[in-house]
Amino acid sequence: MTIASAQRRRIPTWLAIVAASLPMFMATLDNLVVTNALPKIAEDLSASIEELQWVVNAYSLAFATFILLSVALGDRLGRRTVFTAGIALFTLASAASALATSPGELIAFRAIQGVGAAAIMPLSLTLLAGSVTERMRPAAIGIWGGVSGLGVALGPLVGGAVVQGWNWQAIFWLNVPVGVIAIPLVLLALPNSFGARLRADILGVILVGVGVFAVVFGIVRGNDLGWDSGQVLAALIGGGVLLLAFVWWESRASAPLLPLRLFRNRSFSVANLVGVTFSFGIFGAVFILIQFLQVVQGHTPLEAGLMTMPWTLAPMVIAPLTGAVIVPRFGTRLPIVAGLVFQAAGMFWLAAILASDTPFSAMIPPFLLAGIGMGLVFAPSSTAVLAGFGERDHAKASGTNATLREIGVALGVAVLTAVFTGAGGTLTPTGYVHAAIPAVAVGAWVLAAAAVIALFLPVGRTPRTSPLDEVEAESTTEAEVIAGAPVA
């Protein structure tokens, strides 16, 4: 019996779930926790709409760029070790963000936060999957997915409540005690597993990081400078070339950051394509809609957060039920397709009724529909990404998925804001709605496209196993670990 197996038997499953999910909740919360604070940040720091985009995108892009490197370092140095270091870096960067006195400083510290989050998100799922039995894994992943979805969805509510009750700096100070609690909990409850100790693919990190940044930069600057300007064209074309070079390099590198062999798995490939389009559509729309409630309708940050509760609370209930009940019975494809259809319908509905005098009662049904849809997508997407892979590939697989979803967030915010500003939108009560409608509609069309893509997923039903099968599977996993690398 390996040490990891012994620890897994001694530590209660619920404690492992809490230890893996708490830091991940903190990191996912910061995806959109600043959304409701953006008008106040703009006022206090004299930030432009372009700088406000970067407050969100600096985090998402740093997150996406360093996820796979963090996975590789986790394999080499110990997954729990890198996970804990990520929590510490995230906590320190949160304190620095709270102390920022200019938009540039806040953007820089948000980027550092993203680097810390990059070590948290993929390794949390890998550590959790290795800390529970095969029988408990679908339920554990379902809870993990629910907490992840809740962290993202509650961002606007928590941000609004904190900004109104204290100030925008407090949304970052809140991370500090969470990080202090999370580190000893992780050291107690999660085993320090290792993977293949390969050389870090630094060139791959540079190619994908600079490439994605250049593409997003070109999109953000397109409306201001003109889409045919030299700077914008250089950014878009140069970024595209770097991303193609990344794919070429990964096919030849001895220790690739992203093993392209993973994409031979249909469930993995389609789930990742769904992930990037889903994040693009829904979180780009969130960026537009949350500010509509404050800028146009004059609600306070807390009121705006409370008004989105039908949207934000639904994943907390739906995602765990989906992972524990729906996926084992119906597979992964059905809930993902249904969830994306619900979200697309919710966004089309909102685009159709959006007006300065739209009553809150009219927004509740589409908000609720979108929230249920998000809950149906989160957990089965994580399951679909890991389907067909052994434990040694879980970190790379989940890391790739998290990378593409964060790229989707950044592109969604950039593109939908470009649609908004291209339609003449401004952050004023009279200059917002006419431009927000086409932006939200674009997000809805992208979500509809994601639903079509999801039809190509395998059904994804979990095969029934006997207790003897579970023992044999666990023994096989232990043998692979012993043969591959030590577990501490």
What residue has token string 């119906």? 330
Question: Packing angle between helix 266-295 and helix 360-386, nearest 10 degrees?
Answer: 160
| Alpha carbon distance 301, 425 (integer Å) | 21
- Name 468's Cβ contacts closer than 8 Å, sequence gap at least 6: none
Among 320, 292, 261, smallest CA distance to 433 is for 292
| Alpha carbon distance 347, 446 (integer Å) | 10
| Structure tokens given for 385 | 């990404």
| Alpha carbon distance 239, 236 (integer Å) | 5
Say whether pTM exceeds 0.85. no
**In this structure, is the dihedral angle defined by the CA atoms of residues 415, 420, 424 and 429, taken in order, positive or negative?**
negative
SS (H, E, C) 152-171: HHCHHHHHHHHHHHCCCCHH
What residue has token string 């250049």? 214
Residues 130-155 have pLDDT tens digits of: 676 666 767 777 777 667 766 766 77
CATH superfamily for 7-201+253-472 is MFS general substrate transporter like domains (1.20.1250.20)
Q: What are the extents of the domains in the chain?
A: 7-201+253-472, 202-252
| Alpha carbon distance 370, 454 (integer Å) | 17
Residues 146-196 have pLDDT tens digits of: 677 667 667 777 777 787 778 888 888 988 998 999 999 888 888 887 766
Residues 52-110 have pLDDT tens digits of: 878 888 887 888 778 878 877 887 888 889 999 999 999 999 999 999 989 889 999 99
Q: Tell me the CA distances in angstroms from 250 to 60, 204, 255, 270, 379, one per residue in order.
A: 22, 7, 8, 20, 29
Residues 335-362 have pLDDT tens digits of: 999 999 999 999 999 999 999 889 999 9
| Structure tokens given for 332 | 């992964």
Answer yes or no: is pLDDT of 484 > 60: no
Residues 434-480 have pLDDT tens digits of: 999 999 999 999 999 999 999 999 886 655 443 333 333 332 232 22
